[in-house]
């Protein structure tokens, strides 16, 4: 237990030094190449698990921006279908991709992709969905760009605890001192969903606050699914619910839509809601007082880092050459998470 915490603190320190370094070399990728035609540029093959994911659409935009003038980015929508993604990888390799940037549909499919890349001796940068360490360790040219998943749960837990302490006179509706919460989880098996769900609650408890889980279920990262779940929970528990914790902002927005239908956020009917990502729509909700806070999941830097490493690989250079990124012991670039509330909302706005 203690050991785990120590590791987390260590990685947070590493993360902050990356953040610091980030501030110092902003124009690392700013110069536009005038080599003109896409055909002259080395090809990078990329897949996004599904374009229809709110957060991934921002990562995708960052990738496209970072690729401009540097590589011919062949970007595919895997439509949440792992078999389709594997076919896309075959096609990308056949079309001459010099490196791959892969956002897996199913984290368990990483080995299949590595086998294909290895056969052609090309580098794979996995991003956003972390593969098992053994897969990265098994191929010299496999890397990961993402975050430290647990860190977002810890930060969210601190946010929940702080907000609760400051407002419990009003928010502890049944006056038992405990938080009766519902939790909307991301996709089961997704490392971010698993770690966030675990660490948010562990952290609240470590702060000495007792909790009661009224309900927990997956909303698959999706706003509409979250609205349906929240509708059902409100019908069942209504006044008993004291906190809505979600693994991402998409589901937080979905929960808020349901709460609004039920009369919340009007008069003095209020419900604390927290998310992760800091997408612009969630920042808007924070400003309107309908969300307590979120945790910045830095889409821009994750997208840029993915392309910078893939570009270096496509040019037969060391993946880190000329970038501000560092690899940890697990061959991963981990972009730090940041707590976002009304007080530092600008940090979130600047990041998107």
Q: Does 129 bind ligand BGC (CB under 6 A)?
A: yes
Out of Ca ion, ligand BGC, none, what residue 174 binds, judged by CB under 5 to 8 A for its kind, is Ca ion
Of 192 and 242, which has the nearer Cβ to ligand BGC? 192
Instruction: Look up residue 174 and give its two tokens.
Output: 């049944």
**What 3-state class would DSSP assign to 213?**
strand
Out of Ca ion, ligand BGC, none, what residue 192 binds, judged by CB under 5 to 8 A for its kind, is ligand BGC
**What 3-state class would DSSP assign to 51?**
coil
Contact segment (CB under 6 A) with ligand BGC among 53-61, 223-231, 257-265, 304-312 equals: 53-61
Long-range contacts from 205-209, C-beta under 8 angstroms, 24+ separation = 206/157, 207/157, 207/158, 207/161, 209/161, 209/164, 209/165, 209/178, 209/179
Of 250 and 254, which has the nearer Cβ to ligand BGC? 250
Binder among 127, 144, 164, 221 for ligand BGC (CB under 6 A):
221
Q: How far is CA 324 from CA 18, 140, 161, 271, 302, in A?
A: 8, 21, 34, 41, 12
Of 29 and 128, which has the nearer Cβ to ligand BGC? 128
- Cα separation, 74 vs 176, in Å, equals 56
Q: Does 56 bind ligand BGC (CB under 6 A)?
A: yes
Contact segment (CB under 5 A) with Ca ion among 45-53, 170-178, 246-254, 260-268 equals: 170-178
Phi, psi (rounded to 5 degrees) for 140: -55, -35
Of 190 and 300, which has the nearer Cβ to ligand BGC? 190
Q: Does 156 bind ligand BGC (CB under 6 A)?
A: no
- Cα separation, 158 vs 282, in Å, equals 19
Instruction: Name which of residues 171 to 190 contact Ca ion (CB under 5 A).
Output: 172, 174, 176, 178, 180
In the complex, what is the shortest distance from the CB of residue 171 to Ca ion, in angstroms, rounded to a whole number? Answer: 8
Q: Does 337 bind ligand BGC (CB under 6 A)?
A: no
List, as one string, the DSSP characters of 241-280: --EEEESSHHHHHHHHHHHHHTTTTBTTB---EE-SB--H
Contact segment (CB under 6 A) with ligand BGC among 51-59, 77-85, 131-139, 205-213 equals: 51-59
Please provide the distance, in angstroms rounded to a whole number, between the alpha carbons at the two ends of the chain: 35
Cβ-contact 258, 224 below 8 angstroms: no
- Count of residues interacting with ligand BGC (CB under 6 A): 14
Binding site for Ca ion (CB under 5 A): 172, 174, 176, 178, 180
């Amino acid at each position: 237990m203690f050991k785990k915490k120590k590791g987390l603190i260590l990685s947070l320190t590493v993360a902050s030094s990356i953040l610091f370094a980030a501030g110092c070399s902003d124009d690392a990728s700013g110069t536009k190449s005038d080599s003109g035609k896409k055909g002259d540029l080395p090809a990078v093959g990329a897949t996004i698990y599904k374009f229809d994911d709110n957060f991934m659409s921002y990562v995708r935009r960052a990738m496209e921006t970072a690729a401009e003038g540097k590589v011919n980015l062949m970007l595919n929508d895997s439509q949440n279908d792992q078999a389709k993604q594997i076919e896309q990888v075959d096609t990308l390799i056949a079309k001459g991709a010099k490196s791959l940037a892969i956002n897996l549909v199913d984290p368990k499919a990483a080995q299949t992709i590595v086998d294909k890349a290895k056969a052609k001796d090309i580098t794979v940068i996995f991003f956003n969905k972390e593969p098992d360490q053994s897969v990265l360790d098994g191929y010299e040219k496999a890397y990961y760009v993402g975050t430290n998943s647990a860190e977002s749960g810890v930060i969210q837990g601190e946010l929940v605890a702080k907000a609760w302490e400051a407002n419990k006179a009003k928010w502890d509706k049944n006056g038992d001192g405990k938080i009766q919460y519902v939790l909307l989880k991301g996709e089961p098996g997704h490392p971010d969903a698993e770690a966030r769900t675990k660490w948010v609650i562990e952290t609240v408890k470590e702060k000495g606050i007792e909790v009661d889980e009224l309900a927990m279920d997956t909303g698959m990262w999706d706003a509409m699914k979250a609205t349906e779940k929240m509708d059902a929970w409100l019908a069942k528990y209504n006044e008993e619910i004291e906190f809505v914790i979600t693994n991402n902002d998409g589901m937080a927005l979905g929960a808020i839509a349901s709460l609004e239908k039920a009369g919340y956020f009007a008069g003095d009917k209020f419900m604390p809601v927290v998310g992760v990502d800091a997408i612009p729509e969630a920042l808007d909700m924070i400003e309107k007082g309908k969300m307590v806070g979120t945790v910045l999941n830095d889409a821009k830097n994750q997208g840029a880092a993915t392309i910078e490493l893939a570009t270096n690989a496509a040019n037969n250079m060391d993946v880190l050459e000329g970038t501000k990124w560092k690899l940890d012991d697990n061959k991963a670039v981990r972009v730090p998470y940041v707590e976002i509330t009304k007080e530092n909302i600008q940090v979130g706005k600047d990041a998107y």
